[in-house]
Chain A
Amino acid sequence: MEAKVILKQDLAAWIDALVKQYEVIAPVTEDGVVVFRPVSGLSEMAIEGMVGPAKSLREHFTPPTETLFDYKLEDLSAEVIPPENEERHRVIFGARACDAAALLYVDAVYSNVEPIDTAYFMRREKTYLVGLFCDKPAWSCFCTEVGDFLTNPVAMDVYLTDLGNRYYAEPLTPKGEELIGLGNFRPADENDKAANEEIRRKALERLPKRAEHETACLSYDWDHPVWIELAKKCLSCGACAFLCPTCHCFDIQEHPKLKKGSRYRCWDTCQFEKFTLMASGHNPRETRKERTRQRVFHKFKYSQERYCMLGCVGCGRCIAACPVNIDIRKVLEELEKTAVAK
C-alpha cells in the first residue's frame, strides 16, 4: 500500500472527519498526565511531542471495572440483565507500536481456550488503530530488544511518523486506506521517504539491539538468588502490572444490594498478596519471592511456552513506575548471566 503525507495544517480537518464517523480516542494531558480519552477534535489532543502515555491502551479493551451483568430479585425468581453493547466503532489515534503489539499477545490469551472473551473481542473488532512512531524513545524503553514492531508495526491500520511540518502515513490495512481517504493526503515522494528513514534511524540508535530472550527464557532459574533480592525491596503494589499493556488478569466481584445487584470484573495482579489465596487458606505464592518471580516468568517464560511469543513488549512502564526501581531489564540480565554460565 502506498505511503502518503498530510501537512500538519490539514490534520485538524482529518481528525474532524474521523470524529464524524467514529469515536476518536487520543492522548490528552490531564493535570500533567498523558491519558487516552475520547476527544472531539485536535485541539484537545496532546499528539505533538507526546511523551510516554501513562497508561497503555489496555483500559479501552478491558476496562479496569466492567459490569458482566446486573440482576434483579423478585420473590423467588431472578432476572439477569446483560450489559448494553453501547460501543461505536472507534479509532484510537496516536497509539504506540508497543501498545499495539501488546494487543496481539492479549488476543492469544483471551482466545486460547473456549469460551473466548467476547467482550474483549467485540471491542477489538470495532476498533481501528492509527499508530504514531516514537521518534524519541524514553530511557526506560526497550521494545527493540523484544521485537521489531517499532519499524514493522503490528495490529495497526495506519502508522504515522512526525516529519516536522507533516506526517508520513503508511496504511497497513484496507481499513487504514479508508481512514486516510478522509483526510487531505498526497502520495509520499522521495524526500518524504528519506526523511522518514532518517527519523527511524535516529530513534533506533537510542534503543537496544534485539536480544534472544525467546531461547534464553527456557533456562531461567526458578531458584535464582535474584528473586530473594527483589523480594526484599518489592512492595507488592500493582503499579507494574496495572500499567503493563500485556497484563490481563482480573478478579470477579459482586456488588449486591437488597433486591438487585451486579457482577463485575476488575483488574487484579499476581503482585497482590491475595491474588492466589485459596478458600482453604493456602496461598501458593505466599511471599514476595514467588510473586516477583511470577511476573517475570509469566512475561518471558510461560508466554513463550504457551503462545510462542514474549509477553513483554518493552514499553518500560513497569520500570518507570516502580517505586523502588525494580528494572525488568536488569532482572533479565541477571537471569541470563547464569543461564549462559550454565
Chain B
Amino acid sequence: MRQKAKELLESGEVKVVIGYGQGSAPFKSTPIFIEKPEDAHKLIWNPTCVNNLTVYLRDACRQGKAAIVVKPCDARSIIELIRENQIERDDVVILAMSCPGVLNLDALAEIDLADVKSVEWHQNGIAIKTNAGETIIPSEKAFASKCLSCELAESPIADEKFGEPIERHPIRSKYADIEELEKMLPEERRAYWARQFARCIRCYACRSVCPGCYCKECFTDKPCQLWVLRSTDVESNWFFHFSRAMHTAGRCIACGECERVCPMGIPLMRLNQKMRKEVREMFGEEAGTNPEAPPTLGTFDLKKDPDPCSE
C-alpha cells in the first residue's frame, strides 16, 4: 500500500494520499495527508485505524485527484458520495484494505493504557503488548461492534486491493441493539432516549465526523434561525438528533463514527440502524451498495409513486 501510494504521488496521478499515520499513543492512529512520495512510509495499517477518512474526501477532491485508504465499511461512504454527486468516481483512487476488524478502545478498560507498547492483529483477536507482557483480547471484545456484524469480505468499490478477502462469520446481528429497543413500550423508549439526549453537550462531533453530513451549512448552524434552539435542554437535543437521523436516512452507511466520537457515550448507532432498517423495509435499499442507483430519498418517481395531488 505504501508502495502504491508512493507511485501515485511520483507519477503525479494524485495530489494527496489520505491515510492513517501513527497517533500520539500506540493505541491511536491519526489521519495523515501525504503529498510527497518520500513521506509514503508514514502510512500505517493496523487495528487502530478506526477513523472513516472519507469525511475528508469531498474537500480533497476539490483540490485535485486524491487517493484514499479505506476499510470495506468506509468504502461504502465513497459510493454514497458518488451517488449524491459530491465527488466524481474519476477523482479518487481507492486503496482498499482487507480488514479483520478495528479496535474498540473500551475493550482495553482493564489494561493500563499508559503502559501499552503495541496493538496488533492476532488470529484470535487483538494482541496488546505492555511492559507486563502480551495480552490477547478475544475478537468479540476487541473489535468495534460494527465489526462483529460486518458482512463485507472485501471493499465494495476499489481501485487497488491489499490483503486477502476475509471470511466473515458475523457473531452479532446488526440490529441487535434496536431489537431490544423495539421491544420496549413507547414510554420506556421515550424515557430511554430522554436520558441519553439529556447528556448531549451539542459539541457536534457526531455531525462533524460524519461523511454523510457534508452540508455547507448545517441546519443547526444558521446564525439567525430557530430551526433548533442552541440550548441543551432535552427537547432541543432531541430535535437535533431526530433531524439528523432524518437527514442521514437512506445515506448513513453505518460506519459508526458518530457513536465512536461522542464524548458523552450516546448510542447514536441505535438511531441509525433503526433508520437503515426502515429504509430497507420501505425501499428495499441499503446505503453504500450501488453507486449507479439514484439516492434513495432524493428521487421521486411519478410512475412508481403517483402524486395524488396532481390527479
Contact = CB atoms under 8 A, between A and B. Distances in A.
A321 interface: yes
Most A-side CB within 10 Å, residue of B114, B229, B263? B263
Interface in B23-47: 23-25, 28-33
A204 interface: no
Interface stretch (A96-104, A219-227, A238-246): A238-246
Looking at B23, B106, B203, which has the most chain A CB atoms within 10 Å of its CB? B203
Interface residues of A, number: 45
B201 A64 contact: yes
B31 A233 contact: yes
Contact of B208 (A236, A243, A327, A330): A236
Given A235-B55, A251-B230, A323 B209 contact: yes
Nearest to B25: A139
B3 interface: no
A323 B106 CA distance: 15
B231 A264 contact: yes
Contacts of A138: 113-114
B187 to A, nearest CB: 19
A55 B200 CA distance: 11
Of the four ranges (under 10, 10 to 19, 20 to 34, 35 or more), the interface on chain B belongs to: 35 or more
Contact of B114 (A54, A139, A235, A317): A139
B58 interface: no
Given A139-B113, A235-B209, A264-B231, A243 B263 contact: yes
A232 B261 contact: no
A326 B205 CA distance: 14
A49 to B, nearest CB: 11
Contact of A238 (B116, B195, B204): B204
A242 B223 contact: no
A237 B205 contact: yes
Interface string A25-45: 000001111010000000000
A323 B211 CA distance: 13
A30 B51 contact: no
A31 to B, nearest CB: 6
B241 interface: no
B203 A30 contact: no
Most buried by A among B116, B204, B233: B204
A325 B33 contact: no
Interface in B193-240: 195-196, 199, 201-205, 207-209, 221, 223, 226, 229-233
B221 A273 contact: yes
A157 B231 CA distance: 32
B176 interface: no
B197 to A, nearest CB: 12
A72 B265 CA distance: 38
A323 B29 CA distance: 10
A150 B130 CA distance: 26
Contacts of A325: 23-24, 28-30
Nearest to A243: B263
13 contacts: A31-B195, A55-B264, A65-B230, A235-B55, A235-B208, A237-B204, A238-B202, A239-B205, A253-B230, A274-B223, A323-B257, A325-B24, A325-B29
Interface of A: 30-33, 35, 51, 54-55, 64-65, 136-139, 206, 232-233, 235-239, 241-243, 251, 253, 255, 264, 266-267, 272-274, 277, 317, 319, 321, 323-327, 329-330
